[in-house]
Amino acid sequence: MDVTIEPSTVAGTAQAPPSKSYTHRAILAGGYSDSATVENPLLSADTRATIRAVEAFGGDVTRDAETGALEITGFDGAPSVPDDVIDCANSGTTMRLATATAGLVDGLTVLTGDGSLRGRPQGPLLRALDQLAARAESTRENGQAPLVVGGPLMGGSAPLPGDVSSQFVTALLFAGAATDAGVNISLQTELKSAPYVDITLDLLDAFGISARRTRDGFSVGGRQRYRLRDGAYTVPGDFSSASYLLAAGAIAGEDGVTVTGVYPSQQGDEAIVDLLGAMGADIEWDREAGELDVTADRLSGIETSVADTPDLLPTLAVLGATAEGTTRLTDCEHVRYKETDRVAATADALSTMGASVEETEDELVIEGGDSTLEGATLAGRGDHRIVMALAVAGLAADGETTLTGANHVDVSFPDFFEALAGLGATLTRSE
């Protein structure tokens, strides 16, 4: 699907979708349980991949037609050998979580994904699983999927780099609770995207699992059982997805935009609220009501690290292209290992639109004062976050902006274009 966006102003109210990160983890925790109910889940291409993985390991996931809640009958910490290859599609989270889960299986599991996912690094997780007595191999011997993984995962201690993906830590904490010995993770390098592990610890606690930070990493005790502390788990709203709606309001919301369903949580991307304020946007957050109000104002460039907020890089870059002065985004290298190289993809697209952008290995610098955005035809690059960020840029561009492959928003925010149109953006879709 292609989407063409005309210069537009936006106003009104839009609902933030449920958190993708929390939904992934809640579905998997339900799988590790005997049974669980997950309310307000995000149903997207990525989270459906995690549902398929849970079912492949012997669980069952059904959706309540009236409430939308997921009713999960789990494998209770003892996953079975899948009948078929687990296809993780484009979901890196699914791949990492399912890989560690496969280490608990008394037999072999084969995991793969689409072309993009087969190019993403899995080597550090494979090496850690091998050290914990599981079998974990890349069929092409390059640290990338397809993967072959088998148990039994005994537990113990394993080193991990912290600057490739925090999902490796999450995967081992989930599986480690079901081992005999538990798992101690020692980080060899500084942990990037650390708030995502905070989400993991928060979720594990809700399911009765004790895991903690240590002096040099993380630890989870063995022989624990996943059991919800309350009757159901409710997924909070997603700040990563809300960032595009908030950015649209900050750039083109002269009469104000309200984003609902955004309550405080462990999500690192809550930082978008303070970052928009630092750039000069008129923004207020009613935390108890879960409502964020933002009104367009003159924006100024900022310097900020995306070490813990990699998913915000495309959003912040677009904001920088419409702001006065320089926006410098630092600690970017790990953002290159996503669905696409998001640093390069963002730089290329904004440059095509007329922005002044300089890219280095670990930084992205946008000179807003030297940038005048012009409409252009831009490739979505199979990356939902690139598509949504560029759609926001299209609101402020001179002339039409066409995004090819815009259907990839299904990964995290299936109703994104409906939400944008509901705020008043002028857009058309074509197959």
Annotated binding site for phosphoenolpyruvate: 20, 92, 120, 167, 342, 385
Question: Of 311, 331, 383, 410, which is the active-site residue?
Answer: 311
> Considering only CA atoms, which of 420, 341, 415, 321 is closest in space to residue 383?
341
Whether 198 is catalytic: no
d(CA 241, CA 21): 11
The answer to whether the beta carbons of residues 253 and 296 sit under 8 Å apart is yes
Q: How far apart are CA 318 and CA 390, in angstroms?
A: 7
Residues annotated as binding site for 3-phosphoshikimate? Answer: 20-21, 25, 165-167, 193, 311, 338
- How many angstroms separate the Cα of 429 from the Cα of each of 5, 301, 356, 405? 9, 32, 29, 11
Q: Which residues are annotated as a binding site?
A: 20-21, 25, 92, 120, 165-167, 193, 311, 338, 342, 385
**Looking up tokens 């399912």, which residue turns up?**
98
3-state secondary structure 17-82: CECHHHHHHHHHHHHHECEEEEECCCCCHHHHHHHHHHHHCCCEEEECCCCCCEEEECCCCCCCCC
User: In terms of DSSP bridges, do strands 282-286 and 303-305 run parallel, antiparallel, or are they unpaired?
Assistant: unpaired
146 Rama sector, left if φ>0, alpha if ψ -120 to 50, beta otherwise? beta
| Of residues 339, 310, 332, 337, the one with CA closest to residue 411 | 339
Angle at 154 between CA 148 and CA 158, to 5 degrees: 80
The answer to whether the CB of 374 falls within 8 A of the CB of 353 is yes
Which residues does 149 contact at the CB level (< 8 Å), separation at least 6? Answer: 99, 102, 103, 105, 108, 109, 111, 126, 129, 134, 135, 136, 137
Task: Give yes or no for a contact between 155 and 126, defined as CB atoms under 8 angstroms apart.
Answer: no
Strand partners, 60: 73
Instruction: Answer whether 404's CB lies under 8 Å from 380's CB.
Output: yes
425: tokens are 């953006």
* Phi, psi for 230 (deg, rounded to 5): -115, 175
6 with 427: CB under 8 angstroms? yes
- Catalytic machinery residues: 311
